[in-house]
Structure 1
Amino acid sequence: MKEIVLKAFAKINLSLDVLGVLPNGYHEVRMVMQQVELHDLVTVRWQEIKSTDLPERIVLMTDRTDLPADGENIAFKAAELMMKRFGKTGQVQLFIEKHIPVAAGLAGGSADGAAVLHGLNFLWDLNLTIAELCEIGVQIGADLPFCIMGQARGNTCLGILSDDRFSAACALAEGIGEKLQPLPSLDCWIVLSKPPISISTAEVYQGIDQELDGNNVLHPDSNTLIQGLFEKNHHKIVQNMVNILELFTLKRYPIIVYTKNLMDQQGPMKTLMSGSGPTVFAIYLEKSKAEDAFKTLCQHNQETFITKTLL
Structure 2
Amino acid sequence: MRDSEFFGYVTAVAPGKVNMGLRVGPPREDGYHSVATLYLAVSLHEEVTASPRDDGAVTVTLSERSAFRETEFRDRDSGEVVAVPVPVDEQNLAHRAATLLRSRLGHTRGVDLTITKNVPIAGGMGGGSADAAATLVACSALWDAGLSKEQLAELGAELGADVPFAILGGAAVGQGVGDDLSPLLARGELHLVIVPATTGLSTPEVYGLLDSMREEAGVEAEPPELDQDLIRAVCTGDVETAAMLMANDMQAPAVSMLPVLDDMMDVGMVEGAMQGMVSGSGPTVMFLARDAEAAAALAARLEERTSAWAIPVSGPAQGARLLTHRPGETPLRG
Name the TM tier (shorter chain).
Answer: 0.7 to 0.9
SS of aligned partner of 2:248 = coil
How far apart in 1 are the matches of 2:237 and 2:309? 30
Could you give the per-residue CA deviations for residues 205-249 of structure 1, whole angstroms, max 9, x where no partner exists?
Answer: 111112334359998743221122344433332222100001212
- Output the CA distance in 2 between the equivalents of 1:237 and 1:3: 41
Instruction: Read off the aligned partner of 1:138 and give its amino acid letter.
Output: A
Is contact 1:60–1:95 with CA below 8 Å preserved after alignment?
A: yes
From 182, 190, 193, give the equivalent of 1:191: 193
Matches within 5 A, 1:217-256: 221-256=226-261
Q: How does 1:151-190 map to 2 (within 5 A)?
A: 169-185=170-186, 187-190=189-192
Distance of 1:233 and 1:298 partners within structure 2: 27
Output the amino acid matched with 2:248: N
Residue among 34, 39, 43 paired with 2:45: 39
Give the aligned CA root-mean-square deviation in angstroms: 2.2
Q: Distance in 2 between matches of 1:61 and 1:131?
A: 27
Question: Is residue 190–residue 239 contact of structure 2 (8 Å, CA) maintained in 1?
Answer: no
Query: Once the two structures are aligned, what percentage of the paired residues are identical?
Result: 29
* Other structure's SS at 1:117 match: helix
Structure 2: gaps (5+ residues): 64-68, 71-84, 318-334
Question: In the alignment, what sits opposite 1:139?
Answer: 158
Q: What are the within-5 Å matches in structure 2 for residues 279-294 of structure 1?
A: 279-294=284-299
How far 1:302 sits from its partner (Å)?
A: 3.6
After superposition, give the CA deviation of every residue in 1:160-212 in whole Å (9 maximum; x if it has no partner).
Answer: xxxxxxxxx11000001110011133512211102221111010011111233
SS at match of 2:173: strand
Q: How does 1:93-108 map to 2 (within 5 A)?
A: 93-108=112-127
**Equivalent residue, structure 2, for 1:109:** 128
User: What is the alpha-carbon distance in structure 2 between the residues aligned to residue 242 and residue 67 of structure 1?
Assistant: 30
Partner of 2:76: none
Q: TM-score, normalised by structure 1?
A: 0.85
Residues 247-294 of structure 1 deviation map (CA, whole Å, 9 limit, x = unaligned): 212223211101111111121222111010011111112333222221
Unaligned runs of 5+ in 1: 151-168
Equivalent of residue 138 in structure 2, options 119, 125, 129:
119
User: Which residue of 275, 281, 286 maps to 2:280?
Assistant: 275
Structure 2 residue 11 is the aligned partner of structure 1 residue 10: no
Matched, 1:298 2:303: yes
Per the TM alignment, residue 26 of structure 1 is displaced from its structure 2 partner at its CA by 0.8
Aligned partner of 2:57 in structure 1 is 57
Q: Does the 8 Å contact 1:191/1:304 carry over to 2?
A: yes
Kept after mapping to 2: 8 A contact 1:184/1:229 = no
The amino acid of 2:130's aligned partner reads: A
- Three-state SS of the structure 2 residue aligned to 1:23 is coil
User: Secondary structure at 2:247's aligned position in 1?
Assistant: coil
Alpha carbons of 1:279 and 1:301: their partners in 2 closer, same or farther (altered >3 Å)?
farther
1:153 aligned residue? none
Amino acid at match of 1:73: N
